[in-house]
Amino acid sequence: MENTKIEFELTNDCICVEYDEETGDSKLDEQGNPIPSIVCFDCYDEERAYFQDQIVADWIKANGWELDTPLIIKGSRMTWASRSGWATATPETLADKLSINGDYTLSFTLSPDHKQLTCVRSSHDEYGAFFEFEQAPAESEVE
- Please give the Cα distance from 11 to 105 (Å, whole number): 4
Burial 64-95 (b: 16+ CB within 10 A, else e): ebeeebbbbbebebbeeeeeeeeeebbbeebb
DSSP 3-state assignment of 62?
Answer: helix
pLDDT tens digits, one per residue of 9-51: 999 988 888 888 888 888 888 998 888 888 888 889 999 999 9
pTM, 2 dp = 0.85
Q: What is the pLDDT of residue 137?
A: 87
Write the CB contacts of 110 (distance below 8 Å, at least 6 apart in sequence): 5, 6, 7, 8, 55, 58, 59, 116, 117
